[in-house]
Amino acid sequence: MGDIVTYFQLYGEEIYKYVRKLIGDEEGAKDILQETFLRAMDVYIEEKTAKNYLFRIAHNLAMDYLKERNRFIDVEIEDNKYYNPEELVEQRDVWRPLSPLEKSILIL
């Protein structure tokens, strides 16, 4: 069994990049990475399952983070003005309306 420092060195950057893409927030991703390894310190982790276990913790924390954030897109529409939803998608962040599960599937 490796210790948590070894696992951080092996998987920390990869987990951080995954979470950052998933939630779209650099500071939030850093917080989630830190919380992931704090939680992992309290349990015995087998070497062969360490990566999956750490990613699962990070993924669950990211899902909780996204649930807490407002997931609605604010769209300002002038009175009596027609807008094309496809144009709106092109102008907006296309990741934002996706559910956390859809984001994680696309990232993976």
Q: Does residue 60 or residue 100 have the better pLDDT?
A: 60
- Please write the tens of the pLDDT for every residue from 23-56: 988 999 999 999 999 999 888 888 899 999 999 9
pLDDT reported for residue 54:
95
pLDDT at 108: 65
Identify the burial level of 25 via C-beta atoms within 10 angstroms of its C-beta, where 0-12 means exposed, 13-18 middle and 19 or more buried.
Answer: middle
Whether residue 95 contacts residue 56, with contact meaning beta carbons closer than 8 Å, is answered with no
54-88 residue pLDDT tens: 999 999 999 999 888 755 444 555 554 555 555 65
Closest-CA residue to 63 (of 103, 34, 100) = 100
CB under 8 Å, gap of 24 or more: what pairs does 73-76 form? 73/97
Which pLDDT score, from 0 to 100, does residue 1 have?
A: 45
Q: What is the H or E stretch that residue 16 is in?
A: helix 4-23
Q: Which of 58, 71, 72, 70 is nearest to 20 (CA)?
A: 58
Q: Do 58 and 18 meet the contact criterion of CB atoms below 8 Å apart?
A: yes
Q: What pLDDT, on the 0 to 100 scale, is given for residue 27?
A: 93
Token pair for 106: 């696309």
Q: What is the pLDDT of residue 70?
A: 59
Report the predicted TM-score, pTM, of the whole model to 2 decimal places.
0.64
Which residue has better confidence, 84 or 105? 105
